[in-house]
Amino acid sequence: MVLVRTLRGFADGFVSVLLAHYLVAIGFTPLQVGVIVTGTLVGSAALTLLVGLTGVRVGFRTVLLGASALMVATGLGFFAITAFIPLLAVAVVGTLNPSAGDVSVFLPTEQAFLAGHANGAARTRLYAFYNVGGNLAGALGALASGAITGRIGFLLYVAVAAIATLVYRGLPRDEPRLSTPTKPLERSRAVVVQLAALFSLDAAGGGLVIQSLLVVWLHLKFDLSTASTATVFFCAGTLAAFSQFLAPRLARRIGLVRAMVFTHLPANGFLIIAALVPHPVVAIGFLLLRSLLSQMDVPARQTLVMAVVLPEERAAAASVTNVPRSLAAAVTPVFAGWLLANGSLAAPLVLAGSAKATYDLLLLWRFRSAVLDHDRTP
């Protein structure tokens, strides 16, 4: 599972940088780029919700093989189509990921699968390896995008999907489900809804600075070349990847929620500063500082969701907490594209940092007294 996440991370990192430059090169405006990005996220949200609520009847292997086939079709669609409306349709129904992280249907399915293979601190470590593999490969993919430009790059996306299909075929066949929950999240609904609302606020802020739009921002503000941009995001992805190895140790020492908040808040401050400084080297420096801290909360967040629900409700919880994140992240890129198109270059980053900082403070307030399994596990 970690191997496939790594392969998909490479493809996502590659495409997240390639996509914006490619769409601009074929004549799309920043607003149209924002609409395409929004379309990819809306489609992912709808598919993730469907799988989360019904996929338990099908099984992990079947769901992942179907998602891989859709990934192949998505890459072929972006390779063959250049008109805006048909390309938007492919973006909505496909699996293309314009962000530095995984926001596709694969994520909650794999997250629920991994939750059954570790407990407590071991689960956070497993999620850290899972995320680091994807993030580090994503950084390499971003770097590779500087060497392969144009729509031919989408064939690499197809090749990765084909390899992922072969790996997923090696998973044990899904056993028949004799009984399934009639009401998903019947006992954990309240806390999952609260987490979903908080995660949505964080994701809405993140959607304003999704990686494809940061590419556009760097181009508009500093006229950065494709190769330079690829190098920046390679460095950012590498820092984000390796920093997650610190998350299990930090969470064990100060708790899951504090580990999330006390790393995320400074990262959001760095994002706001990057928006305001006039020199490209300084701005990129603060973006890299942000990357060093911004993803340390991810394995702790995934463990938090698994810790507050019953084992039989994990798949639904993973889906229900990820879908609102995808929907919230899908709404804001088009707004960020509009701001960039109208010359408000600092606004998306300042708004993103402010929204995400508000999420941090609300999360800390809601779970300030909670003692979770991981907080007690040595």
- What single string gives the DSSP state of each residue in 288-337? HHHHHHHTTHHHHHHHHHHHTS-GGGHHHHHHHHHHHHHHHHHHHHHHHH
Domain boundaries, the chain: 2-172+185-376
Return the pLDDT at 69. 92
Return the pLDDT at 87. 92
The CATH number for 2-172+185-376, chosen from 3.40.1080.10, 3.40.50.12240, 3.30.70.20, 1.20.1250.20, is 1.20.1250.20
- 119 three-class SS: coil
Burial class (CB in 10 A: 0-12, 13-18, 19+), 162: middle
Place of tokens 């991981």: 374
Q: What is the pLDDT along the chain (378 residues), one digit of tens a residue?
A: 778 888 888 888 888 778 878 888 888 888 888 888 888 877 877 777 777 666 566 777 888 888 899 999 999 999 999 899 999 999 888 888 776 555 577 877 787 777 766 766 677 788 888 878 877 787 788 778 777 777 888 999 999 999 989 988 887 776 544 445 556 677 778 888 899 999 999 999 998 998 878 888 998 999 888 778 888 888 887 888 788 888 888 888 888 889 899 999 999 999 999 999 999 999 999 999 999 998 888 888 888 888 888 777 777 788 788 777 777 877 888 899 899 989 899 999 999 999 999 999 999 998 877 656 555 443
Alpha helix stretches (DSSP H) within the chain? 2-25, 30-54, 60-80, 84-93, 106-115, 120-144, 153-169, 189-207, 211-222, 226-243, 246-254, 256-276, 280-294, 297-307, 314-341, 347-366, 373-376
The predicted model scores a pTM of: 0.71
d(CA 190, CA 187): 8
Cα dihedral value 197, 202, 204, 206, nearest 10? -160
